[in-house]
Amino acid sequence: MSSPPLKNKQGLTEAEFLARYDPEKYDRPSVTADTLLFTLADTVGDGGERWEKQLQLLLIKRGDHPFIGHWALPGGFINMDEDLEEAALRELQEETGVTPIYMEQLYTWGKVGRDPRTRIITVSYLALGDQSCRHAKAADDADDAAWFTVDCRPQHEGKNGSGHKSPNGEEYHITLTAGEHRLFARIRTVEEFSGPIRPEPEILESHGLAFDHAKIIFEGIRRLKQHRILERWGFNDGKVE
């Protein structure tokens, strides 16, 4: 004998509740998915000599407002009928023509005002690419696509590679280089904080990068280092400062 359907405080069954539910009752922010696609590439000198492998990140050049002409992570808006991962892969394919060999969710970014268009929350993904991803080509609404060599280090780095932490946190400098293009950002982490939530990294300065992508990139670099993702996936020559 089946039990009668449960009812809420208004005396409605689940079917009745869903039939009357108004999705316009609450504001609905837009949601996007952005992907940090990293790889390791040989550095070739002027004489053709190969140096140690360097970490590189795929970025696209925005072809429309806001931040037109700035470089950004491949990404875009999530359709109502697709999962987050599907959206991230679709946008990466549409804007660059490449597919990663590995992907995992990194972090969700939802600071008020992070996008000047409207309330937009983005779910970021960290991905790895092999040699098949080297021939990325801009498409869709991207004006260009390029692999940028990544340099990320503490501001007060000594000769032994060590950094100095201050009471206000540690400051990092991120430099991204691709041919004549040079992007730069200063990021500060919060080492000591009160309350249950670790604050996001803070952007002190950002040149050439769109939105808040400087701190998303920093968080991706930190994940690579902390979880040794490059090594686990066979990128044994990887080095992240």
Domain limits, the chain: 33-232
CATH code of 33-232, in short, is 3.90.79.10
- Model's pTM, two decimal places? 0.87
pLDDT tens string, the chain, 241 residues long: the values are 788 899 999 999 999 999 999 999 999 999 999 999 999 887 665 565 556 678 999 999 999 999 999 999 999 999 999 999 999 999 999 999 999 999 999 999 999 999 999 999 999 999 999 888 888 988 877 889 999 999 999 987 544 444 455 556 799 999 999 999 999 999 999 877 778 888 899 999 999 999 999 999 999 999 998 888 877 776 654 444 4
DSSP collapsed to 3 states, the chain: CCCCCCECCCCCEHHHHHHHCCHHHCCCCEEEEEEEEEEEEEEECCCCCEEEEEEEEEEEEECCCCCCCCEECCEEECCCCCCHHHHHHHHHHHHHCCCCCEEEEEEEECCCCCCCCCCEEEEEEEEECCHHHCCCCCCCCEEEEEEEEEEEEECCCCCCCCCCCECCECEEEEEEEECCEEEEEEEECCCCCCCCCCCCCEEEEEECECCCHHHHHHHHHHHHHHHCHHHHCCCCCCCCC
Q: What is the pLDDT of residue 158?
A: 45
